[in-house]
Structure 1
Amino acid sequence: MSNTTSSGAQAARLSDSTVIDGMSMRDRRRVSNWLLTICVMLLGMIALGGATRLTGSGLSIMDWRPVTGMLPPLSHAEWERQFELYKGIPQYKILHEGFGLAGFQKIFWAEWMHRFWGRVIGLYLLVRLVIFAVQGVLTRGLILRLAFFFVLGGLQGAIGWFMVASGFRPDSTAVEPVRLVLHLGMALILYGAILWTALSVRYPTVEPVPDRAGGRRTRMALHAALGLVGLTIVAGGFTAGTHAGFSYNTFPLMDGHLVPEGYARLHPFWFNWIANIPAVQFDHRLLATLTVLAIGLTVFFGMKANLGPRAHAAVALMGWAVLIQYALGVTTLLLVVPVWAGTIHQTFAAVLLGVGIYAMHALRGAKRTRW
């Protein structure tokens, strides 16, 4: 037997013992289904966050009550109190003055649903974690990991309030872009970590990659592609936070130029990347295009190599996903960021990231490993 074949056979016998050692197949399926459901719920949370931002609803709730905030205002007097609080911030005075209690309730419900859904996700994670732990379904390592995810979820709520509070400043009508990106980034980190754990529980055995050299090339390209996906999402967060998508609504040129005028007008130079609208939008476009090319290279390597059925399908799926996301981005830009398009574009960015994580997980058998 050749060294390559032997290595592939050994890879097939590897498992993530810290996650599933001792768990039955039935229990692994139950746990992975639960975690995958949480991932879908997190996608819904990301969608709600995008819609909340695009409708200008994010500053409508002026207090942060982690527990009692699950209940909306239950009396007319409470509605009036909440509305009076909102009237005290610049966003109301500049953008919404005079729109009345009915208009306030409309934006309030959008933000309340976003916060409520986050609490539902946290409760679902905690309750099922306790039930599975009491039933003896989970390993100690998995219990600790999932408890850590629960703590991260609570931290994400605090980061959300930290973001919202930045919009209450006397000179502001929106949250600070840096805090928005921090909030979005933490959501995606939590989503990616839970997704990886769910995949490790469902697929504990490493699928062998018959073509180890081709698999390693594909995996290296995928590493670069996922890095670009992450950078593009960060740039998209700054595009959203600075409202840069409402300018330069042509493609591929920006006001007739490939590189927009005024790209480097701010000092220091790096400040253009987070605060200068021409630079912020151009960077997002450039990174998105580089992401398409990097994923295209990943698909090219993957289709040439014998990766195994799951890895092969995952790489192909990533190719389709990035084309859809790129088309969504261009559509959102050309239509001047309607709520529906902006929301779908933000949500599908997380879907693309998830597909990339799935592909990376499926390619574990291509890693350089000393036996």
Structure 2
Amino acid sequence: MPAGQTVSAPDGHDRAVRLWLFVIAVLVFAMVVVGGATRLTDSGLSITEWRPLMGAIPPLSHDQWLVEFAKYRASPQYDAINRGMSLGNFQFIYWWEWAHRLLGRLIGAAMLLPWLFFVAKGWLKGRLAAVTFGIGLMIGLQGLVGWLMVASGLNPGMVAVAPLKLMFHLTLACVIFAALIWVALGLGAQRERSPAPVRLRAGGIAILVLLFVQIMLGALVAGNDAGMRFNDWPLMDGALVPPLEQLFDKPSTLEAFVDSLALTQFNHRLGAYALFALAIWHMLSARGTGFAKGAVVQLGLVTAQAIIGITALVLVVPLWAGLLHQAFAVLVLGHVVAHVHGLTRAPRMPEQPAAQVLSAA
């Protein structure tokens, strides 16, 4: 350890709470991955009812399967794209959605029951108890948002969930994941760090904000199945910038930003370029500081995610590539949150005026 640095280790109670939060974060990560598989296999509308408790029990007999299948056959999606589906194929999509909902129930229980235990033991109190309770409320809200999303796909004329609701569902999951990581890191060993330049803090926060925007744009791409079109790169349908009439092919500009296959994918591409450029600038800014390694890893992860995204696009989004792209996005988010946590927990070092820098040189 460099001279002058000290470490403040957490007590046993903090370590237990920290481990609990990290376990919940892993479960949320798994939830996002299974949710991605549910989306890519068009399984999300296979269960047409929301039964928070009894829905945890799947069909246990042939007759019960026939009842569930009959409910699905009454849905617009079955009538439009799955007419003639066999019971076996229905069971395949049913199990994906059931697993997704079961994970949601597991996360809720894994959040609530230990929280009650830790509060009763006095290990959670004050601000930490309030913050973790707030995260628990977001997890509960996520269940409601998930059902509202599914319900949007069961409306007459719909064959998939509304892209805007899918975007909110995925974004809220990522907010929960980021909050769990942030709070857990705050309970870890506190090492004294060198001061973080203001520009470095600002750059790290900007990357975090842009990453959330990029995840939201990616959800719109997924919600519209826009990755199934325009599968060339770096051009898009043979052009660097598609024609405006192709980008804005909806009745209103707002609808185009949400529902246009061309514009949602184009915006997602632009977001990736901006994120990559910002990560490079941040890495260069971090040279010579104690945060250089984190910035280099961050750029490496952003680059890998871009490569995965391009691969998924040109291969017309096979299941493995789509899942890898979504899962890796959450991993990138985890590192960016940890990097920003380190930047903002370090002492603030004000920027030197340019005249002082020149005179020092």
User: What TM-score comes out, normalization by structure 2 length?
Assistant: 0.90
Residue 362 of structure 1 corresponds to: 342
* Structure 2 residue 58 is matched with structure 1 residue 76: no
**Deviation readout 1:123-158 (Å, 9 max, x if unpaired):** 111121122222222233222222222121111000
Determine if contact 2:226/2:262 at 8 Å carries over to the other structure.
Answer: yes
Q: Is 2:325 the counterpart of 1:341?
A: no
Matches within 5 A, 1:123-142: 123-142=109-128
Q: What CA deviation, in whole Å up to 9, does each residue of 1:98-120 have, x standing for no partner?
A: 12211111100000000001111
Gaps of 5+ in 2: 351-361
Cα distance between partner residues in 2 of 1:272 and 1:317 = 35
Secondary structure in 1 matching 2:52: coil
1: distance between equivalents of 2:102 and 2:52? Answer: 10
The answer to whether residue 130 in structure 2 is matched with residue 150 in structure 1 is no
For residue 207 of structure 1, what is the aligned residue in structure 2?
192
Which residue is 1:3 aligned to? none
Matches within 5 A, 1:134-283: 134-203=120-189, 205=190, 207-210=192-195, 212=196, 215-261=197-243, 262-283=246-267
- For 1:77, the aligned partner's letter is D
1:327 correspondence with 2:307: yes
Residue 270 of structure 1 and its aligned partner are, at CA, apart by: 3.3
Deviations 1:39-64 (A, max 9, x none): 11111000000000000000000100
Distance (whole Å) between structure 1 residues aligned to residue 55 and residue 187 of structure 2: 34
- Once the two structures are superposed, the pairs formed by residues 86-125 of structure 1 within 5 Å of their partners are 86-125=72-111
Q: Which amino acid in structure 2 is aligned with residue 325 of structure 1?
A: Q
Distance in 2 of aligned mates of 1:314 and 1:39:
21
How many angstroms does 1:267 deviate by?
Answer: 4.1
- SS where residue 187 of structure 2 aligns? helix
Deviates more, 1:40-49 or 1:358-367: 358-367
1:209–1:363 Cα contact (<8 Å) kept: no
| Mean Cα deviation higher: 45-54 or 34-43 | 34-43
Read off the aligned partner of 1:289 and give its amino acid letter: Y
Preserved CA contact (<8 Å) 1:206 1:362: no
User: Could you tell me how far 1:251 is from its partner in structure 2?
Assistant: 0.4
C-alpha distance in 1, partners of 2:230/2:81?
23
Matched pairs, number: 344
Q: Distance in 2 between matches of 1:85 and 1:366?
A: 59
Aligned equivalents of 2:110 and 2:296: distance in 1? 33
Does the CA contact (< 8 Å) of 1:226 and 1:353 recur in 2?
yes
- Match of residue 355 from structure 2: none
CA contact (8 A) 2:32 2:327 kept: yes
Q: Match of 1:305? A: 288
Residue 217 of structure 2 aligns to which amino acid in structure 1?
A
Segments of 5+ residues of structure 1 without an aligned counterpart are 1-8, 16-22
- The amino acid of 1:226's aligned partner reads L
**For the residues of structure 1 that align with 2:23 and 2:106, how far apart are their CA atoms?**
12
Distance 1:345 1:184 in 2: 14
Shift of 1:209: 1.9
